[in-house]
Amino acid sequence: MATIAMPNARRKARNIFSSPFASAAAWLIAIFWTIPTFGLLVSSIRPETDINSSGWWVFFSEPNISFNNYAAVLFEGTTTNPPLFQFFFNSLAVTIPAVVFPITLAVFAAYGLAWFDFKGRDFLFFTIFGLQVVPLQLALIPLLQLFSQGLKFGEITIIPDLEITGTYIPIWIAHTIFGLPLAIFLLLNFLSQIPRELVEAARVDGAGWFKLFSKIILPLSIPAIASFAIFQFLWVWNDLLVGLTFGAGTKDIAPMTVRIAEMVGTRGSGWEVLTAGAFVSMVVPLIVFFTLQRYFVRGLLAGSVKG
């Protein structure tokens, strides 16, 4: 009874026990955690000569600000070394479908797994759950061959060579496939919480499986979809492995991570370019992260905290 009657007193009790020492320690760790990123940000707005002749902390005693690094890395380039803004748009072009496709297919599958009664449903569920952690590395070589040669068993062609190598299509498909297991699992967790009565009432009213989906299930699952969308967005935007394997062949489609990784490799010392370039690649995920952190955390928790 006391629990219900005195929530405020309880909260007060909590705060009394928060020690200033613990708070100070937590702040210290947080600052320590931020310094590397902060150093990169500060460096990226210093003139080239400053970056290479003194540490970024000198900025606070000699504050010279210049956005030339950003201008140079974003817009200067050649046909063989295109400017970074092109890769920025490449990343967008990779990411948007690679978020939309798996979510659509996953909502479908999660709906089926949650509400259809069929033999082998549990088996399918556990298989998908297990597939969540299968390393991508296992699928890379055969998948790459599939895209470049099609699929043949002996002489019989099951999937012909679609001649899609060098376009976005292999990257989209690869990201869709790799994102599906987690997407299905998260959405299924959510969809199976929709009250059975609600679904059954709609069924009794004569709603078919498709109407039920578009009128009831889909609107209810928007929050879960949003959570996963952020997840998948960050994952795809930050991915290097899939981009490198399926899209590094041509700079017309290579995402920004591939480009930044290449810059680190070929001009290891050009910090004026690297700091600005790295920051350009981080801007979008950081904005998404800070504005939608709540949904991101929710998605994270749905996948890992039980009970």
Partner 1 sequence: MNSMGILTARETPWEIVANNFSLLAMALLAFGAVVFLVFLLAERTSVKAQEWIKYLVFIAPAVLLLLIGLIYPTIRTLIFSFMDARSENFVGFENYVWAFTIPEIVTVLRNTALWVVLVPLVSTAIGLAIAYMTDRMKRPGIIKSLIFMPMAISFVGAGVIWKFVYSYEPNDKRPEIGLLSAISKNLTGSAPNWLLEIPLNTFLLIVVMIWIQTGFAMVVLAAAMKNIPDEVVEAAMLDGAAPIKRFFQVTIPMIRATIVVVLTTITIGTLKVFDIVRTMTGGNFQTNVIANEMYSQAFRQMNYGTGSALAIILFVAIIPIIWYNIRQLRRERTER
Q: Does 220 bind partner 1 (CB under 8 A)?
A: no
67: tokens are 């956005």
SS (H, E, C) 119-155: CCHHHHHHHHHHHCCCCCHHHHHHHHHHHHHCEEECC
Q: Considering beta carbons, is residue 57 or 67 the nearer one to partner 1?
A: 57
93 contributes a contact to partner 1 by CB under 8 A: yes
Long-range contacts of 52-55 (CB under 8 A, 24+ apart): 52/271, 52/272
Considering only residues 199-218, where is the footprint of partner 1 by CB under 8 A? 208-211, 213-214
What residues numbered 222-261 form the site for partner 1, per CB under 8 A?
A: 234, 237-241, 244-245, 249-253, 257, 260-261
The answer to whether 193 and 152 have CB atoms below 8 angstroms apart is no
Q: For partner 1, which residue of 63, 67, 130, 160 counts as binding (CB under 8 A)? A: 130
Q: Hey, which residues does 151 pair with through a beta bridge?
A: 159
Contact between 307 and partner 1 by CB under 8 A: the answer reads yes
Q: Shortest approach of partner 1 to residue 27 CB, angstroms?
A: 6
Q: How far apart are CA 208 and CA 205, in angstroms?
A: 9
Q: Pick the piece of the chain touching partner 1 (CB under 8 A) from 51-59, 65-73, 194-202, 221-229.
A: 51-59
Q: Rule CB under 8 A: is residue 167 a binding residue for partner 1?
A: yes
The DSSP bridge partners found for residue 159 are 151
What residues from 64 to 83 belong to the interface with partner 1 (CB under 8 A)?
A: 77, 79-80, 82-83
Q: Which of 45, 73, 128, 229 binds partner 1 (CB under 8 A)?
A: 128
What is the residue whose two structure tokens read 């009874």?
1
